[in-house]
Structure 1
């Protein structure tokens, strides 16, 4: 009973006959039936071959020294199962000679297993701790994969191990490096996931471990091609654990061996744990590499940018600044951080920035402003400040990263440009120059404000297309203008000059002169037409007036020469002496000159009738101003009427001075006129009356004055002339239509 309780089996061996007897519990321990007889030789067949010699040596030593023996050994039961047994015994002596051995055996398989498992668990725990330290010592993800595979392979005593990463885009599992005992290459390999059996690929995508204890006996991998691959790579057993992140296959860790193997749950759990640790270490290493590369790129960019680059924390302290800031500020590098930047900003600007900063910090937002920043030499220069929020790996707000770009020269240039544009706009307005830009492919037209004013369009209301321009062009000029433009584009002309008329919004008709440059692409397709428009209406008017004046001048010269010719002839015919001819000719020429002088003062346009009269009669007025009476409304005579009328007044004055009222003391001349507005043209009623002079009689022959008064006035001016030679004094009357003004310039003609 004690043996049963202690799970002990007793036995006895006769050293002379070598018979062996044992209890039922002993036989059960060794995998024998209770009634089965056995010899010691048969027992030795159950002992593990590697332990038989050690057991026999222990017994011989006990017999020699007459001591007990105690040995733990392995057994292989007839059914193939293995176990561990602790055997204790001693010898029984007769006459000092050993005759038999007796002892007990205890099954220690469970205890050994527990011990082995404890030892294995301890080894695995130590392995994981060492693996963590080992993986953290590498910066290269590939070295991490290789170190993991090597350590895991040696721990599990397999032939190869590897870590492969899956790329869903290319469907490739790529093992950069593998570890093996030499059976296969360590260089790594790649294969398509869907080249594997479909069930296996699906298992991997579902995150399930795939185990084959013996590939030759596993019907799932019986495909000849797969078996050939296993044979080439000397694989008999393989275990692969996939790694999923966010439901997606990311990587796989696999181990294989050239001998079949029963993979325990502890093995699978360990491999899964190692896979997770490897993935974390690889991703961390890559993140650190990326961070180092990012920091390196940032510093390279920060130091090479033509700008001040800086980082502020949430308290607006400068935690980083590039070398350019150190040089610009003139401060030592150790003093260029912190709040030093605030002292470099212009006082008027820092107050505004700090006020803006309240909302920027509250919203953790971006910020952009322009401010003046003092350089090392004390000069304030304009900078463009741009800041973006900076967050940590977990999304926490850490401050701002930004740049400060010197825009001082640009600001000065913009200021000068604005002044220049203002001057240009004023010059354009003063000169009435409008600028346009026609994008030919799109048809978009851009006008300057002066162009809108030129066309009578309210500022900002131009529609920006050709139709809006065409509706302003005179209908008789639009077709010709478009034709001229199309011909210029067809011959690839670099510029064009066109004149046309427009209708302004106020219904005014103006003449526009367009001068434009045309730009083409490499294939000679027209791209843009940029030009200016000038209002040349007044120049057209001046041109027409000039033409009229030239024609008038030709006419006046011809008439003047004809008049002089007539004066010469008539004076010669009536003069009785050279002196009389001279006096008469000179007086008439002087009168003609005075009339022309009045006309030229008005640019050959008009002369006042009263001026013509007073010019001739002025010298005969006395101090009492009662010899000459001039009375009538203001009347202007155009040049074609002023010359003959002026000559007529001269002849009347000369005749009165020689023979009439002005030739004696007390004589008087009364000149009156009025204007009647009853028809198409106003009618001038003119009278010349002499009194108090010598007695008057009708002349016996007609002189120059009479012919001038009768013929010239009648022929040129359609005047009705009457001369009454009354005895008390000459009375001259003239009724004539006043010639109209020439028509004003009309852009329609």
Structure 2
């Protein structure tokens, strides 16, 4: 029959809220997004730096600080003020339900506002009680701006198609008219129902012409001012030119987009309108971009609809301005100087990118292509300025640069070593943690790894061209589940786990790799500590079994009867059990002697605390000393309860100790004194209890044990050396 019970190992797992709270603010900073944590009453208890940046302020944590949110002010997306007690976080804590992808407006102390996308999850304990909630939010202002810009451009495109002064129709690959604008229908006099859905050949007068048009477009050619004749609803013939190209999908013609220009009047006055036709060809050749004609002084003479839309002004407003009037002050000098040289004949054309502004103050970026129109004598007549709005492209470029900068900042902030290489394994980036782990500053262009030297876990040398990063690049696959050891120039070594991962472009081509080196020194140390603890446990189990075996043998030899032997053996086993329980609660570490004495003696006596005095110098003892003291104090207490001062209501007991520093540690001396009990006389023979106490103090602890049976009460003094460890 086993006398050893397993130690309780069940511990309560932390809830999500407790885990997040224990992480601390510095750990939240590693999360790539704005995050904050509230308790169940809504008081802010944690937030990261990105959240503070979006709020534009540093909130106050805890009760009495900021509640539900760290923003200065909140608004609904339509601008309606939103009270903090009505915000998504407050609702999530009250209802206990998650909030997904809800938008709010955050106003900072400087008056600026951002649109935030909010995701909130209530955090509950194991019983389902709400402990708090976490909010992860991000700035989506740029996406809103892009969506508005896209919607505006789509509206502009739709307006251009429907209201263009030039006829425009779309024809399917099999020749059916899919769509036509107002100008096209007005040109021929048909309604949409009469025109759309019919074959384009129904309206062409010359069958060879339409067949040639369809053949050219089907073969991928573009038509430019292709002459043709169309039959109108009233039977008249319209002379037109067709500008068209084909849209192809999967190598096959999908549809064609055709501009139809009515040239009927041109046939009546070809010579008189030649100059007008030239201007039309030069100025409105590409109707989807902004075009303007300017005089020598820069005054606008003619503008198209796209030009007006780009600058947010009416045609009448623009024709009363020069092109410098809407130009940003930073771009005026450059544009004015170039145009002056063009007017003077020093250059025929120039191009530049400049900033301009709309009436509402919005800044736009324009690519300008300016060319000259001169008379037969070379004199300047006017300048043709073609404008393309590249604001969205500029924003995307800025976003890409910001994204790259943000990614570099994020990688720099990571506590793990991270570096990247190109497809050939040359290092292109490394963060500060990589320098710290490797103990050196790598050079961009180094091959394969940032470390100085590498070793396998068995201590064998690992060449850099065979390291996990090299294998990942050569075999074009991520490497997982391996470990290696990095040696620094100073000779110290760091075990780590690498995570090399190949990177590919949009076509799937290998362009490089990223590697994260996780320092596992603490894990290795923990494994070593665990092994040491297991060895310690094995040692203690063997010692405990030896102690139990000795108790059983000695109790049996000195017992007056089987029942007496059983009772004595059970009492001593319980004392040993209490000692182990006490040490287990303290994880088998150092124990304060005052706590040890209280927990051993008070359960035995259960008496008025006024009758017992337990005091002494503050000191902590290790597990070996604690076991010996527990067994000794237990034997003395049982004897005092049965035969000594604690067997009567008038009896008193004092346990005192002191420590005296010595050259090799400290000397601990414990005095046990019983008073006002029954008269005491020495026993006829030394009992098992006395021998057990001597064994604990003299043999196990190498001390001195003196037990005196004085008539006025039992006196016991024992002392031994202990390693100095004060409480």
Structure with max Cα Rg: 1
| TM-score, length-scaled by structure 1 | 0.45
Hey, which of these two has a bigger chunk of helix by percent?
A: 1
